[in-house]
């Protein structure tokens, strides 16, 4: 396996609620997200409507050697879609 991250990859909203799928030639990683801290349930169309929190897998969960690259690409995808992204976990 190459230590260089694959150039061909996809990131898309998952088939299940609150998930995002990252795929490349070696990995399929399912990330979860939730509303961000700026989201206001009393005013869901207000200024925080695009606030999301992207969640890291638990530190005890086995991770691919390119997990960090996949996570960053997923974050960039959400930002490209117009979301303000917060990170939960490490």
| Tens of pLDDT, residues 49-79 | 999 999 999 999 999 888 999 999 999 999 9
Bridge partner residues of 87 (DSSP): 54
Decide: 54 and 74 in contact? Cβ < 8 Å: yes
pLDDT category at 1 given cuts 50, 70, 90 is very low
Q: Is 10 helix (H, G, I), strand (E, B) or coil?
A: strand
pLDDT band at 6 (very low <50, low <70, confident <90, very high): low
In Å, the largest CA–CA distance within the chain is: 49
Nearest to 85 by CA among 44, 13, 77, 10: 77
Question: Residue 67: its pLDDT value, please?
Answer: 94
């Amino acid at each position: 396996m190459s230590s260089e991250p694959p150039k061909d990859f996809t990131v898309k909203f998952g088939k299940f609620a609150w998930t995002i799928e990252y795929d490349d030639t070696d990995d399929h990683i399912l990330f979860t997200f939730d509303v961000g801290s700026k989201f206001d349930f009393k005013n869901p169309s207000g200024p925080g409507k695009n606030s999301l929190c992207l969640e890291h897998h638990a530190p005890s969960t086995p991770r691919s050697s390119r997990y960090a690259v996949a996570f960053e690409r997923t974050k960039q995808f959400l930002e490209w879609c117009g979301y303000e992204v917060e990170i939960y976990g490490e």
